[in-house]
Amino acid sequence: MMDFEKLVAELADNAAPVKAAPHPYLLSLKWMGAAAVYLVVSLAVSGLRPDLAHALAQPLFIAEIVGLLLIFAATSLSAALLAFPDLHQKHRLAFAPAWMFALFVLVMLFAWRADSPPAPLPVHSFECTLSIILFSLLPAAWTFYTMRRYASTNYYWAGSIALLSAFSIGALWIRLHEVNDSILHVVEWHYLPMIAAGALGVWLGKVLLKW
Amino acid sequence: MEEITGMEELMRRSLGGDKRAYAELLRETARFLRPFLSKRLSFDSEVEDLLQEILISIHKARHTYDGKRPYKPWVYAIAKFRLQDYLRMHYADHLRHAEELSGLEENLQDDVTESGISYESISAEVEKLPEKQATILQLMHQEGYTAKEVAAKMGMNESAVKVAAHRAYKVLRQKLER
């Protein structure tokens, strides 16, 4: 290592004016706006589920969609905060996804109980998980690309939350696209893989967000 | 001359390209980080090395600070992050050395009883090694320095120290197994 004063002089010499990073609220709004456009365009291309009007008449379906929207909003905000070394000094907000996930689990428990007699299982299974993953690739890539410009000191969490955010928008898309009332299928192939996505995000965070 | 007060103000000026304010800010930052690091690290050389790494990290991440929130929590977040990284690497390094040493001891154990290898004979063999290798082994295994500290002491690269130590183990093993 070099002499302390020499290092200070060198760093000061390189101190060109710097444009401050956008506020994390603005950053997360950007992500949410882009994801909303992506979702609308994708649904316009792939088509809405034909029974959407009927599905929207069911309170638990609405609760599930709202739950997914809240998870997406909370994870976007949390990922934006986690991209900053000090979480922009809003530590409590960074934990908001935990509450949203808890709320969502509760909604799914109610939906599970209400699914009696159980709706018939669709003929497909893992195809849903695969579709969600493919749909999530673009938002995930963009989120990680943006986060790399900042300086996360919690890169494991940041990676996990970023991937959960992308996965939640994928899960939202498939619920609005696919005709399916089986809670068992939805839990097994739409939402449980989210746990794996979160774990994969931990690894991706370490690889992509370390600085 | 206008007096600059407050670290937030210094940082705001630094972000605007004020080099004098930036140099002052880095010095002030070092002033409050030194005691923080000293409490957590054993050697002054470690504190200075890590402090410099933290200052470089602050420089890299300065765009993530907007001057509108307290400066110290932002700096401490970076300092803790780098300290954790350093400690993780430091302990991994210690573990590797312990494994290397126990590997050498295991290999030598049987021979010691059979061929009468003593501490003196090992020391004698160490002395016959090239000067640099002998010094490295002496510092690491008799005086308890880490590879990083030995590197700093001898003006070498850390990995060069490890390579030299590894070569020395190999030579010693061959000689003592004969």
* ipTM of this predicted structure: 0.86
Q: Give the per-residue pLDDT at A133.
A: 96
Contact B77 A12 (CB under 8 A): no
Work out the angle between the directed axes of helices A4-13 and B19-38 (0-180°, nearest 10): 140
Nearest chain B Cα distance for residue A27, angstroms: 12
Q: Do A86 and B60 touch (CB under 8 A)?
A: no
Average pLDDT over residues B57-63: 95
Over residues B16-32, the mean pLDDT reads 94
* Residues of chain B numbered 6-35 and touching chain A (CB < 8 Å): 14-20, 22-23, 26-27, 30
- Residue A157 confidence (pLDDT) above 50: yes
The pLDDT, as a whole number, for residue B1 is: 42
**Distance of residue B169 Cα from the nearest chain A Cα, in angstroms:** 28
Confidence grade of residue A46 (pLDDT, cut at 50, 70, 90)? very high
Query: Does A14 contact B59 at a Cβ distance shorter than 8 Å?
Result: yes
Query: Taking CB atoms and an 8 Å cutoff, what residues of chain A touch B10?
Result: none
pLDDT in the model for residue B133: 85
Q: Which residue of A has its CA nearest to B22?
A: A12
Using a CB-CB cut-off of 8 Å, the residues of chain B touching A11 are 22-23, 26, 55-56, 59
To test the contact with chain A by mutation, choose from B64, B76, B80, B153 the residue with the greatest count of A C-beta atoms within 10 A, namely: B64
B145 CA: distance to closest CA in chain A (Å):
18
The pLDDT of residue B83 is 94
**Cα distance between residue A76 and residue A165, in whole Å:** 6
Closest-approach residue (CA) in chain B for A90:
B69
- Residue B90 Cα, gap to closest chain A Cα (Å): 17
What is the mean predicted confidence (pLDDT) over B29-41? 93
Please give the pLDDT value at position B67.
Answer: 84
CA B54 to chain centre: 13
Exposure on the CB side of residue B142, measured as CA atoms within 13 A: 10
Return the pLDDT at B4. Answer: 45
* Average pLDDT of the residues in B126-138: 84
| Shortest Cα–Cα distance, B85 to chain A (Å) | 10
Contact flag A89-B70 (C-beta cutoff 8 Å): yes
Put simply, the answer to whether A153 touches B30 (Cβ < 8 Å) is no
Give B58's pLDDT tier (boundaries 50, 70, 90): very high
Q: What is the mean pLDDT of residues B145-173?
A: 81
Percent of chain A residues past pLDDT 90, beyond the cut: 90
pLDDT at B5: 55
Question: Residue B117 above 80 pLDDT?
Answer: no
Average pLDDT over residues B59-76: 93
Q: What is the mean pLDDT of residues A20-44?
A: 96
Interface of B with A in 81-120 (CB under 8 A): 81
Distance of alpha carbon A32 from alpha carbon A24, whole angstroms: 12
pLDDT above 90: residue B161: no
Could you give the C-alpha distances from B72 to A30, A83, A150, B23, in angstroms and in order?
A: 28, 18, 18, 16
Shortest Cα distance from B129 to chain A (angstroms)? 29
Which residue in chain B is spatially nearest to A9 when comparing CA positions? B23
Q: Do A1 and B49 touch (CB under 8 A)?
A: yes
- What phi, psi does A168 have (nearest 5°)? -65, -35
Q: What is the per-residue pLDDT for A65? A: 97
Burial class (CB in 10 A: 0-12, 13-18, 19+), A169: buried
Q: Does the beta-carbon distance from A11 to B60 stay under 8 Å?
A: no
For residue A84, list chain B residues with Cβ-Cβ distance below 8 A: 64
Q: Average pLDDT, stretch B106-110?
A: 60
Res B2: pLDDT: 44
Query: Mean pLDDT, to the nearest integer, of B76-89?
Result: 93
- Say what the pLDDT of residue A168 is: 97
With contacts defined as CB-CB under 8 Å, which chain A residues touch B63?
A: 18-21, 150
Of B143 and A114, the one with more pLDDT: A114
- Answer with the residue of higher pLDDT: B110 or B173: B173
Mean pLDDT of chain B: 82
Residue B52 has pLDDT above 90, yes or no: yes
pLDDT at residue B6 in the model: 87
At residue B137, the pLDDT reads: 84
Does the structure show a pLDDT above 90 at B118?
A: no
Check pLDDT > 80 for residue A205.
yes
Q: Considering only CB atoms, which chain B residues are within 8 Å of A18?
A: 15, 17, 62-63
Q: Assess whether pLDDT exceeds 70 at residue B3.
A: no
| Average pLDDT of the residues in A84-93 | 95
Q: Using pLDDT thresholds of 50, 70 and 90, give the confidence band for residue B128.
A: confident
Residue A1 pLDDT: 58
Residue B91 has pLDDT above 80, yes or no: no
CB atoms within 10 A of CB B90: 16
Q: Is the four-CA dihedral B114, B120, B123, B128 of positive or negative sign?
A: negative
